[in-house]
Chain A
Amino acid sequence: QSVLTQPPSVSGAPGQRVTISCTGSSSNIGANYDVHWYQQLPGTAPKLLIYGNNNRPSGVSGRFSGSKSGTSASLAITGLQAEDEADYYCQSYDRSLSASVFGGGTKLTVL
């Protein structure tokens, strides 16, 4: 059981907008530590999608955006495409553990 909680799965139709939540606590997200998001396509290594809560690395589509509020963060994907079907993970630092942690991951299905 991760200290960062994500929904196991979300789904949406092509063109729709979906959000994936990442709920933490006062020892991680709520302590103002940055949240990062990764996309893992089937059978491949993870790829950085969002860093520092809401920043996109060069080359990442503008359809992906991140936000943070209180003890939670969210990843939003607009204009859903079949190629977005993947697992998504949030990451942050936890001061109680003195280590970084990943969320449990969310499987996105494009209907």
Chain B
Amino acid sequence: EVQLVQSGAEVKKPGESLKISCESSGHSSTTYWIGWVRQMPGKGLEWMGIIYPGDSDTIYSPSFQGLVTISADRSTRTAYLQWTSLKASDTAMYYCGFAAYSSIGSFDYWGQGTLVTVSP
């Protein structure tokens, strides 16, 4: 079965940079997408963007375009979510999701989440 393991919780100050990761395993196919989802404290899920590790084709939600960078290393089956200058409003739980066939498909498997806290 597919497993997604995310990097650990982070505590950062405003203005700092950050890169969190999501490593996938348990799948033989190279045809898959990895997406990122934000959940702010006490709020709902927000679709941020998705990447095809095969060729790094990336789609961003307009709400997150230019605010974050999604990347992937095909050889290590690891996807990344990166900020260059964090704000307090970036404080949230971030989940990665595995989409087996399509960039607009369902997230069949999810990572455990990475809690990012941005505080002075």
Write the residues of chain A forming the contact surface with B, with a CB cutoff of 8 angstroms: 2, 33-34, 36, 38, 40, 45-48, 51-52, 57, 87, 89, 91, 93, 97-105
Any chain A CB within 8 A of the CB of B44? yes
How many angstroms between the C-alpha atoms of A103 and B37 in the bound complex? 13
Among the listed A2, A52, A87, A101, which residue makes an inter-chain contact with B106, where contact means beta carbons less than 8 Å apart? A52
Among the listed A51, A97, A99, A101, which residue makes an inter-chain contact with B108, where contact means beta carbons less than 8 Å apart? A51
Write the residues of chain B forming the contact surface with A, with a CB cutoff of 8 angstroms: 35, 37, 44-47, 49-50, 59-62, 95, 97, 103-113
How many A-B pairs have beta carbons closer than 8 Å: the answer is 68
How many angstroms between the C-alpha atoms of A68 and B85 in the bound complex? 41
Among the listed B50, B59, B62, B110, which residue makes an inter-chain contact with A46, where contact means beta carbons less than 8 Å apart? B110
Q: Which residue of A lies closest to B43 (CB)?
A: A105
Among the listed A46, A47, A48, A93, which residue makes an inter-chain contact with B45, where contact means beta carbons less than 8 Å apart? A46
